[in-house]
Amino acid sequence: MTTFDPAMHAVVPERTFEDLMIGEVFNAPSRTVTDAHAAAFQTVSADNHPIHYDAVYARAHGHAAPVVHGLQVLAFTAPGATLFPQYIGSVFVAFASLTAEFHREVNAGDTLYPSLRIISLEPRDGKGLVATRATVHNQRGEVVLSGEHRYILRLSPNSAG
């Protein structure tokens, strides 16, 4: 009889702070944003500005179509949209901070390609600070969002940090 081991159901092998490398990339699957996604986000966020749902208003203000909420585009950079949290699950402490810059508007029908790239690894005060560069490209290869995420991880017990 085989003994059940929950660790055998991990999506990817777990890693420690010390296993991570600057330059590593964690891509999220592409997602084509639809009017339904935008409407659902509008409901959840309570952001009822007509730029997000009124095509006539959007065109009158210089947009080709209603603009997908910026925070919705930012949400696509959530670490959980990638495999990153699967790798660091047992050493993860906190999502410490984020920044974001919106470079281009996103409209329903656009396909988005989010990515996180590790840009620094700093042992600090007995923990590890991981910084990632978050980017979202559209189907034309244009950057629509960029920013930075910072996470706090536990160091391995035998780590010198």
Per-residue pLDDT tens for 37-72?
999 999 999 999 999 999 999 999 999 999 999 999
Q: Note if the pTM is more than 0.85.
A: yes
In which band, very low, low, confident or very high, does the pLDDT at 160 lie, cut at 50, 70 and 90? Answer: low
pLDDT above 70 (res 161) = no
Amino acid present at 112: L
* Nearest to 93, CA basis, from 17, 148, 9, 28: 17
Task: Please identify which residue in the block is written with the tokens 């749902």.
Answer: 53
Instruction: Give the pLDDT confidence score for residue 157 in this predicted structure.
Output: 77
Contact between 35 and 52 under an 8 Å Cβ cutoff? The reply is no
DSSP letters along 28-92, please? PPPEE--HHHHHHHHHHH----GGGT-HHHHHHTT-SSPBPPHHHHHHTT-GGGSSHHHHHTTTE
Instruction: Give the pLDDT confidence score for residue 131 in this predicted structure.
Output: 98
Q: For the chain, what are the domain ranges?
A: 16-154
- Around Cβ 5, how many Cβ atoms within 10 Å? 7
In which band, very low, low, confident or very high, does the pLDDT at 5 lie, cut at 50, 70 and 90? Answer: confident
The architecture in CATH of the region 16-154 reads: Roll (3.10)
pLDDT in tens, 95-153: 999 999 999 999 999 999 999 999 999 998 899 999 999 999 999 999 999 999 999 99
Instruction: Give the pLDDT confidence score for residue 143 in this predicted structure.
Output: 98
With a pLDDT cut of 90, the percent of the chain lying above it is: 83
